[in-house]
Structure 1
Amino acid sequence: MTKTIIIIGSGFSSLAASCYLAQQGNKVIIYEKNPTVGGRARQFKKDGFTFDMGPSWYWMPDVFERFFQDFNKQTSDYYELIKLNPAYRVYFGTNDFISICDNLEEIKSTFETIEKGSASKLQNFIDQAKSNYDIAIKDLVYRPGVSPLELITPKTALKLNQFLSNVSQDIRKKFKNEKLIQILEFPVLFLGAKPNKTPSFYNFMNYADFGLGTWHPKTGMFDVISAIEKLALELGVTIKTNSPIEKILVENKKATGVKINGKIIKADIILSGADYQHTETLLEKEHRAYSDKYWESRVFAPSSLLFFIGFNKKIENVSHHALFFDVDFNQHAKDIYDNPKWPEAPLFYANFPSKTDLTAAPNGMESGFFLIPLAPGIEDNEVLREEYFEKIITRFEQLTNQKIKNNIIFKKSFCKNDFVTDYNAYKGNAYGMANTLLQTAFLRPKLKSKKVRNLYFTGQLTVPGPGVPPALISGKLVAELIQKSFRS
């Protein structure tokens, strides 16, 4: 029987879920509070410059392929992928950087020149990471987080020790050079926690990095949003923007509809891809599964200070993706997780999409995206934003041997307060809830409400966790749970 399903939000997980639910034959309507689709993955355009406002790394291409294959499609039916070489560059000081190539053999050679004997160690490390990737990404993450038994398989039993140690320990046992260690620790930052708080099993992120490579959709990550939106529309999904949800209606402990712009809209199922904590505030208190105390006790991934900048010239001595690790990595991590505050000397990331996509900036110009990870919930104001922009742009000039401040045409900032305003993000988090040992799989907030029937959740605060590939998987998992509920 056809059901009417309302989906709140239009990020990756919501769009993915809408496709699966429509494929099942349901009437699916997405309501998005902002003027355009994409959630955190929206696009920003100004004066001929184009920016992805959120995710900018395309990793785990197999997950994207698997998603489209579920609809007898391929990614190439919707967008073109370019493999980046170098994948990225990591700066440790002036004229001191390491470029990560697009294949493991060259990366091993790079490692060997820096630390003798590290090439073979890296091969062994990546072999193990691939084994973990095959278990995690091809199996475990496609489980709905309903029971701890989901994690217990013959293959995971052999990996038990990797859930008891952490990524940082594992890497430091094998490598001594601090630069190589930081490069290997970097990928797990996508999971939203410090490397020494992330189980060793998650080193599968290193295989995603060195084994599968870094890709770029031809005109940016919004290509993927546009692709899934197009697929959703092809499947009959209706999408309505400028439609903020004011309330989720509950009768006899059963979700029956939503209130939007003062209007009541009824539905059989309500699925929220919006921030989980915010979604529960749309319910009366007795219907909320998680208390304020619960959310306060969780380890959240960082917020971010972002700058979208148009330059009137080409930027030199940088790659498409560039990481700036010329300051104390551990101290910045402490300033995010241990003693939340604005870091004295922040690490930062820069992305120049116009290095790969000539449509991202006018001819002879450059589009630049700068990001500083920050603790969620900290103070945010224009004075602090400007102070930190000066810090990183001054270091950028020094580290890349060029002057660029006077070549800025425009600059748009986006920080904690904007994450709250635009996405209703708890404490202004940018990446959801961290994948620590005690926040993995069945220990994360549930896809299905524990208190309200016919109310479901998807996205980075639930299963399987933060990141774009997990968001696509989350959409599939919740759609399967909903379909299962129809049969029961």
Structure 2
Amino acid sequence: MPQPQALIIGAGIAGIATAIRLAVKGYHVQVFEANSYPGGKLSEFEQQGYRFDAGPSLFTMPQYVDELFKLAGKNPKDYFTYQKLDVVCNYFYPDGSRLKAYADPDKFAAEIKLQTGETAEAINQYNRNSARIYDITNHVFLEQSLHRLQTYLSSKTLKSILRLFQIDAFRTMNAANQSFFKDKRLVQFYDRYATYNGSNPYQAPATLNVIPHLEQHFGAYFPKGGMYSIISSLVKLAEESGVQFHYNFPIDEIVLAGKKASGIKVNDDFIGADVVVSNMDVWFTYRKLLNKHPQLFPEKILNQERSSSALIFYWGIKKQFDQLDLHNIFFSADYEAEFNAIWKQKSIHQDPTVYLNISSKHQQTDAPAGHENWFTMINVPANTGQNWDELIKEARQNIIKKLSAQLGENITPLIESESILDPRSIESRTSSYQGSLYGTSSNSQFAAFLRHANRSSKIKNLYFCGGSVHPGGGIPLALLSGRIVSEWVD
């Protein structure tokens, strides 16, 4: 029999993972990427002696990366290494208080009690709740397709369905967190996890309180070589597995034979395949690559509310700050007003929460000696035509003012290099509709069921992976989407 052919559209982390899995299954796999580099949102660049990971900066659930090497019969450590962080993140509050999120649960509970007065039992009770939600939802909502009958016939799924009342889907994250803690700073700390999938803690269901478990139970890590080493190591594995990558090759069209995907068109050349997998945002997949077939569009899904986006300043800083670590958060004084600005006003709050990532804290070569590379990010709305030039100008001033006050030094003269990424450039570089980072938002109880499936229900042999489809955005879920696609292809 001839070798089956698979075509992957997009070399984001989900597309690469899917390519590896299909190659291991015996497919001849080709990946077509519009950019000159792989990785999608997870990319890197250098400026004036500073190296930056341009996209995701938090690495959790490394077992999903290791799994790909083991699947291909390789030792992950021969390709990719990482270290567990002792301190996950430093938190700075407007009142001057600080919180150090230790990876060790006992040390973290002691730190919380010292800084907020909340008891260890309150923390343990919260952790048990988060772990319970994970135990119920992991096998159903994350590791399997919600759109296959087979999923609902397993004993694990049936057990989870019987416990669905325990996942706290009918309260918001904020309401649930207020029921656990009296200290507003700790409520704000746990509300922050809604931003991990671009949602609003004052709207998103408390089911998302599973996210702290992924970070605090499984840990956070720093990959040797920076976040982009995840991509470079997986590309190497893929190529050794026979995958062919084609860069600077934007796809013109997904070609259908009736209601079956038969291949793609690139530069007016037809390339046939048994399987077509889109790692492009599902919105652009339909609107651009399938625009000849509007009758097949899942309009309700395509018109769903998008997740939030990001505004990032990449700053080369001519100083080192001992009070900062790899991950740092500077909270807003009015968190609800900040989210109202993002979600209701489609704007940026004058006092935004600032995330500051400094990879040179662990990899000194990422910045010149005595300097630091600051990845400075705030959450912003998706692009719906705002005056971004004005918003960016105001946000830059507010961020500098906030960081300078917290650090006790004017940082303006310390900035010797700068690049900016905003929702417009996120959309143009990564084909993410409106610059949203995680596809659709999770601001409703049924969001998990409303995401686009990993296989088209109307077009045979067409599959989808990546952050815009099930199970969601972020590195771990994108990798799981690749696993789901490979299992469904069987």
How would you bin the TM-score normalised by the shorter chain? over 0.9
**Alpha-carbon shift at residue 100 of structure 1 (Å):** 0.9
1:413 aligns with 2:414: no
Q: Distance in 2 between matches of 1:232 and 1:439?
A: 35
Cα separation, partners in 2 of 1:201 and 1:68, compared to 1, 3 Å: farther
The 10-residue stretch of structure 1 (63-72 or 215-224) with the greater mean CA deviation from structure 2 = 63-72
Mapping of residues 373-384 of structure 1, within 5 Å: 373-378=379-384, 379-384=386-391
Q: Give the 3-state SS of the residue equivalent to 1:466 in structure 2.
A: coil
Cα deviations by residue, 1:431-460 (Å, 9 ceiling, x for unpaired) = 222234455444211211222222111111
2:219 corresponds in structure 1 to: 213
1:305 corresponds in structure 2 to: 311
1:9 corresponds in structure 2 to: 10
Q: Distance in 1 between matches of 2:72 and 2:183?
A: 46
Identity of aligned pairs, percent? 26
**Alpha-carbon shift at residue 315 of structure 1 (Å):** 3.3
Residue pair 1:380, 1:417 contacting (<8 A) in 2 also: no
2:165 corresponds in structure 1 to: 160
Cα deviations by residue, 1:69-113 (Å, 9 ceiling, x for unpaired) = 333445423222122232111111264221111211011111212
Cα deviations by residue, 1:202-243 (Å, 9 ceiling, x for unpaired) = 322111222222211122111111121111111110011111
1:284 corresponds in structure 2 to: 291
The 10-residue stretch of structure 1 (129-138 or 51-60) with the greater mean CA deviation from structure 2 = 129-138
1:425 aligns with 2:426: no
Q: Distance in 1 between matches of 2:356 and 2:452?
A: 32
1:478 corresponds in structure 2 to: 485
Q: Distance in 1 between matches of 2:482 and 2:51?
A: 27
Q: Which amino acid aligns with 2:34?
A: K
**Alpha-carbon shift at residue 10 of structure 1 (Å):** 0.6
Residue pair 1:4, 1:267 contacting (<8 A) in 2 also: yes
Q: Which amino acid aligns with 1:418?
A: S
Q: Which amino acid aligns with 1:276?
A: V
1:314 aligns with 2:320: yes
1:264 aligns with 2:248: no
Q: Distance in 1 between matches of 2:173 and 2:56?
A: 23
1:89 corresponds in structure 2 to: 90
2:119 corresponds in structure 1 to: 118
**Alpha-carbon shift at residue 354 of structure 1 (Å):** 0.5
Cα separation, partners in 2 of 1:392 and 1:4, compared to 1, 3 Å: same
Q: Distance in 2 between matches of 1:69 and 1:139?
A: 24
The CA RMSD measured in Å over matched residues stands at 2.1
1:274 corresponds in structure 2 to: 280
Q: Distance in 2 between matches of 1:477 and 1:212?
A: 22
Cα separation, partners in 2 of 1:117 and 1:409, compared to 1, 3 Å: closer
Q: Which amino acid aligns with 1:19?
A: I
Residue pair 1:289, 1:450 contacting (<8 A) in 2 also: no
2:362 corresponds in structure 1 to: 356
Mapping of residues 165-176 of structure 1, within 5 Å: 165-176=171-182
Cα separation, partners in 2 of 1:117 and 1:320, compared to 1, 3 Å: closer
Q: Which amino acid aligns with 1:221?
A: M
**Alpha-carbon shift at residue 171 of structure 1 (Å):** 1.6
Q: Give the 3-state SS of the residue equivalent to 1:339 in structure 2.
A: coil
Q: Distance in 2 between matches of 1:163 and 1:387?
A: 37
| TM-score relative to the length of structure 2 | 0.92
Q: Give the 3-state SS of the residue equivalent to 1:16 in structure 2.
A: helix
The 10-residue stretch of structure 1 (318-327 or 283-292) with the greater mean CA deviation from structure 2 = 283-292
Q: Which amino acid aligns with 1:169?
A: A
Cα separation, partners in 2 of 1:119 and 1:352, compared to 1, 3 Å: same
Q: Which amino acid aligns with 1:278?
A: F
Mapping of residues 53-202 of structure 1, within 5 Å: 53-93=54-94, 95-137=96-138, 140-147=141-148, 150=152, 152-161=157-166, 162-202=168-208
**Alpha-carbon shift at residue 422 of structure 1 (Å):** 0.9
Q: Give the 3-state SS of the residue equivalent to 2:103 in structure 1.
A: coil
Q: Distance in 2 between matches of 1:160 and 1:68?
A: 37
Moved over 6 A (4+): none
**Alpha-carbon shift at residue 144 of structure 1 (Å):** 1.2
Mapping of residues 376-415 of structure 1, within 5 Å: 376-378=382-384, 379-415=386-422
**Alpha-carbon shift at residue 189 of structure 1 (Å):** 1.9
Residue pair 1:249, 1:257 contacting (<8 A) in 2 also: yes
Q: Distance in 1 between matches of 2:265 and 2:182?
A: 57
Residue pair 1:14, 1:459 contacting (<8 A) in 2 also: yes
Cα deviations by residue, 1:91-140 (Å, 9 ceiling, x for unpaired) = 11264221111211011111212444521111121122223323433554
Q: Give the 3-state SS of the residue equivalent to 2:91 in structure 1.
A: strand
| TM-score relative to the length of structure 1 | 0.93
Cα deviations by residue, 1:283-310 (Å, 9 ceiling, x for unpaired) = 13435643556423x1321111111111
The 10-residue stretch of structure 1 (287-296 or 381-390) with the greater mean CA deviation from structure 2 = 287-296
1:486 corresponds in structure 2 to: none
1:41 aligns with 2:73: no
Residue pair 1:17, 1:478 contacting (<8 A) in 2 also: yes
**Alpha-carbon shift at residue 386 of structure 1 (Å):** 2.5
Cα separation, partners in 2 of 1:212 and 1:71, compared to 1, 3 Å: same
Q: Distance in 1 between matches of 2:457 and 2:45?
A: 37
Q: Which amino acid aligns with 1:463?
A: H
1:459 aligns with 2:466: yes
Q: Give the 3-state SS of the residue equivalent to 1:417 in structure 2.
A: helix
- For structure 2, the residue ranges without an aligned partner over 5 or more in a row are none
Q: Which amino acid aligns with 2:436?
A: N
Q: Which amino acid aligns with 1:388?
A: A
Q: Distance in 2 between matches of 1:256 and 1:352?
A: 46
Cα separation, partners in 2 of 1:138 and 1:359, compared to 1, 3 Å: farther
1:248 aligns with 2:254: yes
Cα separation, partners in 2 of 1:438 and 1:175, compared to 1, 3 Å: closer
Cα separation, partners in 2 of 1:289 and 1:344, compared to 1, 3 Å: farther
Residue pair 1:288, 1:451 contacting (<8 A) in 2 also: no
Q: Give the 3-state SS of the residue equivalent to 1:274 in structure 2.
A: coil
Q: Which amino acid aligns with 1:62?
A: Q
Residue pair 2:307, 2:438 contacting (<8 A) in 1 also: yes
Cα separation, partners in 2 of 1:310 and 1:183, compared to 1, 3 Å: same
